[in-house]
Structure 1
Amino acid sequence: MFTRISSAILICLLATGCGEGLNGTDGDPSNQKQTKVACALDGTDDFKPQCSFDEVAGDKGTILTLHEPDGGFHRLRITRDGRGVVAADGAAPAIVKVVGDHQIEVTIDNSRYRLPATIGPVRAK
């Protein structure tokens, strides 16, 4: 069975209303709040709710910034082509896999992040 990660990734799961940004904001960076997510950093196997993300909608799409507790971060762009997210910058690609009904795991370098997602069937064009 084919699945894709909806272009509406994360939206209705985290926002208080579907017309708002991912974290209940209006997309204005000054209104950002961070949402905690589980991550396994630097090759560890233990997922802990120690990372967070925020999002900003812009001309080139919505960018998620994943924040690590040591100040490190990765930026992801939400796609509309079924891939879910891709690395927005940097040399390392983002590898995405579905790990639950409403969850994806994003691997960048040796770190993994579990993000809520809306997952649905691929529609024929």
Structure 2
Amino acid sequence: MKPMFLRIFSAAAAALFAASCGTESPVPQGSDIQCAIGAGVELEAVCTLERSAEGESVSFLIHHPDGGFRRIEYDTATDQIGVGDGADALKVSEESTAEIAVFAIGEDRYRIPSEMLRTQPQ
């Protein structure tokens, strides 16, 4: 009797596991931005910028096409961006201008219109 129970339990567990693997994450809400995820990759508009405000700073979640993400903060008082969390530092590129913010976090690079950073979320 015990082996039959194990077979039924194993089949039920396998079915439950298979069903949970088939669920896709929802498409992130936000604006498309240019990013290059990894070393040697060209910038493409394949990332999504999602924003939320918290006092003097605006928090951003940059969604990568592979499901990864980065969190950055924009300080409205100082007009500066920084990493919201994580071990890698944010390095602003010399390519940045008043119109475009270009920066890297680790090997990942991002190019965001400055207006997107300065616009308060709704």
The one-letter amino acid paired with 1:61 is S
Gaps of 5+ in 1: 1-31, 119-125
Determine the C-alpha separation between the residues in 1 that align with 2:86 and 2:98. 29
Q: Which has the higher helix share?
A: 2
Determine the C-alpha separation between the residues in 2 that align with 1:109 and 1:95. 9
Aligned-pair CA distance for 1:58: 1.6
Gaps of 5+ in 2: 1-27, 116-122
Matched, 1:107 2:92: no
Is the CA contact 2:34–2:45 (under 8 Å) kept in the aligned structure 1? yes
The TM-score normalised by the length of structure 2 is 0.62
Task: Provide the alpha-carbon RMSD of the alignment.
Answer: 2.0
The one-letter amino acid paired with 1:88 is G
Determine the C-alpha separation between the residues in 2 that align with 1:101 and 1:75. 22
The TM-score normalised by the length of structure 1 is 0.61
Is the CA contact 2:29–2:48 (under 8 Å) kept in the aligned structure 1? no
**Partner SS for 1:99:** coil
Structure 2 match to 1:47 = 43
Q: Percent identity?
A: 23
The one-letter amino acid paired with 1:81 is T
The one-letter amino acid paired with 1:102 is E
Matched, 1:93 2:89: yes
Aligned-pair CA distance for 1:95: 1.0
Relative contact order (alpha carbons < 8 A, sep ≥ 6): 1 or 2 greater? 1
Structure 2 match to 1:22 = none
Moved more, 53-62 or 93-102: 93-102
